[in-house]
């Protein structure tokens, strides 16, 4: 499986070194940003697996603040910093990072942190199980248990249902669904609607409501 990375680093030589190292290992680099604002602009159009994020980046928003602001996107973050004091580490922990890389670092240091982060990401994904009153999504097994019955779903159907359960009682937009399920692929609204309809057909009485002009809402109380 190929993993994608966004590099947020305002030191051009360091950013280039990271980019070249990743690409030499056949990882995809979707972009390099010098600031939180620039990184946020990139995230509007694509969805990386990991963000390599320098804590002391250019701009009014540092790496720690940026990481906190995107926690809901569920993107794995690897912090980079020239500082490894207790205060910096404790502040970084609040964003639940998948790794911490101290400058200056070598190619082997970088790859070691990335491999550990990938291993943890795979474990988190495979073990994930989301449950509500009468419905359970088991990511690894690729199945749903609904009213004590096993229902097999496709990968995208399972990702969609899992996302709805995590965002129960909220309005989920078309763009949010596209980013979570199709990531970098371009799909239109009709493709999203077809996926929702397949879920409704496979799981009787599931309550996914159309919210005109906004997207969908999923309610646990009526499942």
Band (pLDDT 50/70/90 cuts) for residue 51 is very high
* 125 vs 153: which has the higher pLDDT: 153
Rg (CA), the chain: 19
Confidence of residue 186 (pLDDT cuts 50, 70, 90): confident
Residues 95 and 24 in one domain: yes
Are residues 205 and 118 part of one domain? no
- Per-residue pLDDT, 222: 45
Does the predicted TM-score (pTM) go above 0.85? no
Find out whether 49 and 30 touch, Cβ atoms under 8 Å.
no
In this structure, the answer to whether residues 149 and 98 fall within a common structural domain is: no
Q: What pLDDT, on the 0 to 100 scale, is given for residue 129?
A: 45
Q: Say whether both 9 and 36 belong to one domain.
A: yes
> For the residues 171-186, what does the mean pLDDT come to?
84
Q: Is residue 223 part of a domain?
A: no
Report residue 14 as tokens. 């360091």
pLDDT for position 167 = 80
| 135 and 48 in a common domain | no
Own/partner pairs, 204-211, CB within 8 angstroms, 24+ separation: 206/135, 206/146, 208/164, 211/171
Between residues 166 and 96, the one the model is more confident about:
96
Query: Domain range holding 56?
Result: 4-126
CATH classification of the domain holding 213: 1.10.10.10
Residue 44: pLDDT band with limits 50, 70, 90? confident
| CA–CA gap between residue 11 and residue 26 (Å, rounded) | 23
Domain boundary among 84, 106, 126: 126
Domain-embedded: residue 106: yes
142 and 193 fall within a common domain:
yes
Q: Which of 196, 134, 128 is nearest to 161 (CA)?
A: 196
Residues 95-119 pLDDT 10s: 889 999 999 999 999 999 999 998 8
Percent of the chain with pLDDT over 90: 35
- Measured between its terminal Cα atoms, the distance across the chain in Å is 35
Q: Is the model's pLDDT at 1 over the cut of 60?
A: no
Among 40-44, 84-88, 169-173, 180-184, name the most confident range: 40-44
12-18 mean pLDDT: 96
Q: So what's the pLDDT on residue 128?
A: 47
DSSP string, the chain: ---EEEEE-S-HHHHHHHHHHHHHTT-EEEEEESBHHHHHHHHTT---SEEEEESS-BSSS-HHHHHHHTGGGT-EEEEEES---HHHHHHHHTT--SEEEESS--HHHHHHHHHHHHHHHHHHHHH-EEE-SSEEEETTTTEEEETTEEEE--HHHHHHHHHHHHTTTSEEEHHHHIIIIITTS---HHHHHHHHHHHHHHSTT--EEEETTTEEEE-STT-
């Amino acid at each position: 499986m190929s993993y994608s990375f966004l590099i947020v680093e305002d030191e051009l030589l360091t950013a280039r070194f990271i980019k070249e190292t990743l690409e030499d290992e056949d990882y995809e680099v979707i972009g390099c940003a010098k600031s939180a604002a620039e990184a946020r602009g990139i995230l509007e159009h694509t969805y990386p697996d990991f963000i390599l994020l320098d804590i002391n980046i250019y701009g009014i928003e540092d790496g720690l603040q940026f990481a906190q602001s995107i926690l809901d996107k569920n993107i794995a973050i690897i912090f980079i910093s020239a500082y490894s004091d207790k205060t910096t580490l404790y502040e970084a922990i609040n964003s639940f990072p998948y790794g911490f890389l101290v400058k200056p670092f070598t190619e082997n240091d970088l790859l070691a942190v990335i491999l550990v982060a990938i291993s943890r990401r795979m474990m988190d994904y495979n073990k994930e199980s989301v449950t509500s009153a009468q419905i359970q999504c088991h990511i690894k097994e690729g199945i749903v248990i609904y009213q004590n019955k096993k229902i097999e779903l496709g990968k995208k159907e399972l990702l969609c249902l899992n996302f709805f359960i995590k965002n129960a009682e909220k309005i989920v937009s078309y763009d949010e669904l596209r980013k979570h399920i199709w990531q970098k692929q371009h799909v239109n609204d009709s493709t999203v609607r077809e996926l929702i309809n397949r879920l409704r057909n496979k799981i009787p009485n599931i309550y996914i409501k159309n919210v005109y002009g906004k997207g969908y809402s999923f309610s646990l109380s009526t499942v």
